[in-house]
Structure 1
Amino acid sequence: MNNDLLIKNASYLNVAEGRYEQGDIKVSGGSITQIGSELKADGETIIDARNKFVLPGLIDCHVHVTAATADLGQLGEWSPNYAAFNTAKLMGEMLDRGFTTVRDAAGADFGIHDAQAEGLLRGPRLFFGGKALSQTGGHADPRPRGRDAYDAGSCCPHIGRLADGVDAVRQAARDELRKGAHHIKIMAGGGVASPTDRIDSTQYSLSEIEAAVEEATAANRYVTAHAYTGRAINRALRAGVRGIEHGNLLDDESLELFKEFNAFLTMNLVTYWALEREGRKFGLSQENWEKVAAVLDGGYEALGKAHEAGINLAYGSDLLGGMQVHQAKEFTVRAKIMPAIDVIRSATTTAAALLQREGELGTIAVGAHGDFVITSEDPLKDLTVLAESRLDYVIQGGAVVKAGTATDA
C-alpha cells in the first residue's frame, strides 16, 4: 500500500483556529512532511482537492470493537475466533465512516491492536485498555442474580474482569498494563447494559480507585472511569481519575472538579438514542432498556453545562451490536447543543489530547499522521456531511483506504 501522498489545492481545516487554510499537503512514510504552495510530486499518489474540504482523520474515544451484540453477557459464551471476525467487520466499517483512530473502552486487546498495526486487519488505529476492572456486582459483572460461577479468562471475550479489594485491583491493573494497555478502565458507578446494578450506585472504594490510578500513573498511563451520577463522578475525579465516560447526570461540583483537574469527559448521547429505538432488537433486555430513559434526557442537559463551562469534551459513540452503524450520528446529536467547530474539535484535537497524542493525531501539521477525511461540502456549515458519512476520501497514514460516498451510515 502506497503511503506517499500529495493532496493538491487543499482547503484544509486548522482545527485549533477554526478556519480553513489553503495549500498542498505532502505525506511521506505515513506522516505529513510538507505543507506549502505548489509542492512538486515525486512519485506520490496525487489527489486534487480543489473545491473540497480537508479535515484531519476523525477520532472516536469510546468504542467497543468486540461488542457485536448488545447482550454483553453473551460475549463470554462466544468463540474468540467468532468474536474476532465480528470485530474485523466492525472496525472496517468504522474506518469507512472516517474514523482513522479509535479508543476501545473495554474489550479489545493487544492481538487486535497488533493485527491492525501490522495490516492484517483493516480498521482504525487502536488505543485499548484491555478488560475493564469491575467490582463484584458492578457494571462489568455479566452474571444474572441466579449465577454464582464466573469465568473471564483471557480466552473469553468478556469486556471486563472482576477485582475486589485494593490488592486485587492493583494486580488486575498491573496485568492489563503488562499486556500493553494504553489506559486502565474502571467501573466507578452503575450502568445501563449490566444485569444487577443500579445507575445511581457508586462502585469501588476510594482506596481501590486510588490503587488503579497509582499503577496507571507509574506506567505513564491513565485511568478512565465509567460514571453517570455526580456522586460517582466526583469521587473518581478526586481520586485521580483522568477521564469520565458518560457523565449524563453530573452536577455543578462535577464541573468544578473537571476544571480543577483538567480532566476529560467523553459523552456518547447517540448510544441512548439508539438503545431507546433499537436496543431490544439487538439483544438489550427489557429491564436494561428501561434504564435508558433515566440517562437520555439528563445527557443533553449535562452536555450543555459541560460545554458552557469549557470542559474538555471528547467524542464518543459507545454503540453496541448492529447499532454501531449510527457511530457518526453523534455529530448531529451534539450539534443541537454545540457549535459545529467544537463538535469537530471533540473528534480531533481534544480527542488527541485525551489519547496523549497532541500534534500527532487530530491535526493537519508537519509531523502529524497523514490521516484525513475529504468532503465536497463544508462540515462547518452542515455537520450532516460527517454524520451521514458523505465522504469523498478517507485517508489513513497517507494511504487512501476509501474513495466514494458511504451509503450505510
Structure 2
Amino acid sequence: MCLACCEAIESGQAVINPCLCGAPETQAAMQRIEADISRRQLLGGAAAVMGLFAGFGLAPREVRAQSAGRPVVLTNLRFFDGVTLAMQSGRDIVIEGGRITGLPATGTGPSEAEVIDCGGRSVTPGLIDCHWHATLVGISQIAALTQDIGWVHLMAGREAGATLMRGFTTVRDTGGPVFGLKLAIDQGAVAGPRIFPSGAMLSQTSGHGDFRLLNALPRMPGNPADYTEKTGVAAIADGRDEVLRRTREQLMKGASQIKIMAGGGVASPYDPLDTAQYTLDEMRAAVEAAADWGTYVCAHVYTPTGIMRCVEAGVRSIEHGQLADTATIRAMAAAGVWWSIQPFLADEDANQYSDPRSQAKQQQVADGTVRAFQEGKAEGVNMAFGTDVLFNPRGAATQGRQLGKLTRFMPPLEALRMATGAAGELLAMSGERAPYQGQLGVIAEGAFADVLVWDGDPATDLAFIADPDTNLRLIMKDGRILKEQL
C-alpha cells in the first residue's frame, strides 16, 4: 500500500477495505496477469500440454487451420444440408471465421480463397449423437464404479478424439462428469466433439442411477456420498427439495440440460424395467428449476406409464422409450416432445451384460424397438438419433454403424436428418444455456462450419458411415480441418 494511503487511513480520512477484489486497480492488474498467462500458455504452455497428452492419443489432430483473413471454398461436391431430403449440387460451400458464410453457385465465390476440390464426393454436416456418455462409454462398468477418477477422465479424453474421427462433431452428453473434458476440448488441449453436458444423472433412491451395493443401505443423514455421486456420475435425490437442489447444482456447473431417471433401466441391477420412478411433483421440481434457467429436462424412461408422467410434468425429451404404446406416442406428438431414440436391437453391437436380469431386460427393449421407430415416424413425433453406447469400449467404434441401422425403418436421408438437422433442433432447446451459440447439424449460411466429405452416397444408403477410416475423407470442425485425405 502507498505511503499516502497509509497516512489517509491513520488520519481517519479513509477506511481499510479488507477485500480489494472489486477495486478498479485490482481488476486492471488481474486483466494484465490473465493476458500474460494466456500469451505464455499459447506460446509455451500449450506445447507442454500437447506433449503430455500425446502419449494418450489426446492431442488435437488438426491438419491445418484456415488462413487468417482468407476464406475456404469447398467445391466440386454434392451436399445434404441436414434438412432437405435431397442431395444438392451446383453450389460451393464458403467458410470463414468458423462459420459457413455462403452457398454460391459453383465458381462464383470469393476470388481470394483457399479452394478445396472435393472430387465430386458427398458432403454432409457434422454428425450429432444426442445420447452419448463421454466419460462412461470407453470403460467397463466395474471400472467406472471403482477406478481412480483421473484414469477415467484420461480414457474419456482418448475416446473423445476417436469420436471426432468418426465424424461426430457434436454430442449431447446425457450423464456423467464431463465438464472438465468439455473445457479441455473447447480450449484446444484435447481433440473431441462439441459437448452439450447434462452433468450428474438425477435418480431417486433405488432408481436407474442408484448404483450402490445393497450393503450400503440404509443411507443415513450423516453418511458420506457414494463414489458415483462424489465423482459426478449420478446424484441421488428424493423429494422436491432435494431434486431442486441437485438440479440447481448441475446448472451451476454448466449443464445445458438436465437428465432425470424416470423409469427402470437395463444396466442397473435393482430396478425392474416396468417401474415408474420419480413422482409427478419431483419431476416438476426438476422441470421448474431447469425452466428458470431457460433450459429443459430429458428423461430416461421406457414404459407408457413413465413416459406419460414425464409428458404431464413438462419433460421435453424422452430418452429411449422403446416400450411406448400407441396412445403414449400420440401424446408425445401432441405435446411436441422430442424422442431421442436408439436402434436397440440386442444384436452384435449391443451393450454387453453378464447379469441374466439385464440380459432379459435388454431383450424386452429390443422387442419394442422396431414398432417404436415405425409408429413414432408415422405419428410425426420429433425424433433425433442417439446411441447410448455404455460401458462398452469396443462398442464405441460402432457409433456410425448404429446410425446406418436406421435405414431399416426409414429412407437414408431421413435417417441422416435425425443425426444432423433434427438433432440440431433438439440441441437448440437449451437456449441461452447452450454452450455454443449458433446452428448445428446443417449446411446453411451462418451455421457452424462442421463439415464432412465422404466416399458414398447418403441418398442410397448409409453403410459407408460405418467405416470412417476408409470413407471419411475430410473432417472439419469449427472451420478447422482435422483430417484430409482427398
Normalization by structure 2: what TM-score? Answer: 0.78
Query: Quick one: distance in 2 between partners of 1:325 and 1:129?
Result: 23
CA drift at 1:43? 5.2
**Which has the larger displacement, 149-158 or 294-303?**
149-158
Deviations 1:206-245 (Å, cap 9, x if unpaired)? Answer: 0000000001011011000000011111110111000000
Query: Quick one: distance in 2 between partners of 1:328 and 1:68?
Result: 15
Which residue in the other structure is 2:98 paired with?
30
Does the 8 Å CA contact 2:455/2:472 hold for their aligned counterparts?
yes
The one of 79, 87, 97 equivalent to 1:20 is 87
1:278-289 equivalent positions in 2, closer than 5 A: 279-280=352-353, 284-289=354-359
Which residue in the other structure is 1:184 paired with?
258
Number of residue pairs aligned between Structure 1 and Structure 2: 400
Which residue in the other structure is 2:75 paired with?
8
CA drift at 1:272? 4.0
Deviations 1:259-301 (Å, cap 9, x if unpaired)? Answer: 121111111125743565x614xxx534322321111121111
Counterpart AA for 1:279: Q
Which residue in the other structure is 1:211 paired with?
285
Which residue in the other structure is 2:407 paired with?
335
DSSP 3-state at the match of 2:80 = strand
Which residue in the other structure is 1:167 paired with?
241
Does the 8 Å CA contact 1:267/1:313 hold for their aligned counterparts?
yes
Which residue in the other structure is 1:226 paired with?
300
Which residue in the other structure is 1:248 paired with?
322
1:246-395 equivalent positions in 2, closer than 5 A: 246-270=320-344, 272-274=346-348, 279-280=352-353, 284-320=354-390, 321-322=392-393, 323-356=395-428, 360-389=439-468, 390-395=471-476
Query: Quick one: distance in 1 between partners of 2:92 and 2:447?
Result: 15
The one of 193, 215, 223 equivalent to 1:124 is 193
CA drift at 1:153? 6.5
Does the 8 Å CA contact 1:69/1:75 hold for their aligned counterparts?
no
The reply to whether residue 114 of structure 1 matches residue 183 of structure 2 is yes
Query: Quick one: distance in 2 between partners of 1:233 and 1:86?
Result: 34
Query: Quick one: distance in 1 between partners of 2:349 and 2:206?
Result: 22
The verdict on how the C-alpha distance between 1:271 and 1:161 changes in structure 2, with shifts beyond 3 A counting, is farther
Does the 8 Å CA contact 1:83/1:157 hold for their aligned counterparts?
no
Deviations 1:11-46 (Å, cap 9, x if unpaired)? Answer: 2213322122221111111111122132235353x3
Does the 8 Å CA contact 2:304/2:323 hold for their aligned counterparts?
yes
RMSD (Å), alpha carbons = 2.1
The reply to whether residue 198 of structure 1 matches residue 272 of structure 2 is yes
Counterpart AA for 2:72: L
Name stretches of at least 5 consecutive residues in structure 1 with no aligned partner. Answer: none
Does the 8 Å CA contact 1:71/1:193 hold for their aligned counterparts?
no
Query: Quick one: distance in 2 between partners of 1:41 and 1:399?
Result: 20
Determine what percentage of the aligned residue pairs are the same residue. 34
The verdict on how the C-alpha distance between 1:158 and 1:379 changes in structure 2, with shifts beyond 3 A counting, is same
The reply to whether residue 138 of structure 1 matches residue 207 of structure 2 is yes
Query: Quick one: distance in 1 between partners of 2:345 and 2:199?
Result: 21
Counterpart AA for 2:304: G
Query: Quick one: distance in 2 between partners of 1:273 and 1:354?
Result: 28
Name stretches of at least 5 consecutive residues in structure 2 with no aligned partner. Answer: 1-63, 430-436
The verdict on how the C-alpha distance between 1:40 and 1:333 changes in structure 2, with shifts beyond 3 A counting, is same
Does the 8 Å CA contact 1:188/1:236 hold for their aligned counterparts?
yes
**Which has the larger displacement, 359-368 or 123-132?**
359-368
Counterpart AA for 1:132: M
Does the 8 Å CA contact 1:33/1:366 hold for their aligned counterparts?
yes
The one of 85, 88, 93 equivalent to 2:162 is 93
The verdict on how the C-alpha distance between 1:363 and 1:340 changes in structure 2, with shifts beyond 3 A counting, is same
Does the 8 Å CA contact 2:80/2:125 hold for their aligned counterparts?
yes
Query: Quick one: distance in 1 between partners of 2:441 and 2:328?
Result: 27
**Which has the larger displacement, 23-32 or 200-209?**
23-32
CA drift at 1:379? 1.2
Does the 8 Å CA contact 2:453/2:473 hold for their aligned counterparts?
yes
The structure carrying a bigger strand percent of its residues is 1
CA drift at 1:105? 0.6
Which structure has the larger Rg?
Answer: 2
DSSP 3-state at the match of 1:49 = strand
1:61-80 equivalent positions in 2, closer than 5 A: 61-68=130-137, 71-72=140-141, 74-80=143-149
Which residue in the other structure is 2:44 paired with?
none
Query: Quick one: distance in 2 between partners of 1:42 and 1:214?
Result: 51
The structure carrying a bigger helix percent of its residues is 2
Normalization by structure 1: what TM-score? Answer: 0.92
Query: Quick one: distance in 2 between partners of 1:386 and 1:216?
Result: 35
The verdict on how the C-alpha distance between 1:187 and 1:73 changes in structure 2, with shifts beyond 3 A counting, is farther
The verdict on how the C-alpha distance between 1:326 and 1:338 changes in structure 2, with shifts beyond 3 A counting, is same
Which residue in the other structure is 2:112 paired with?
42
Query: Quick one: distance in 1 between partners of 2:296 and 2:347?
Result: 29
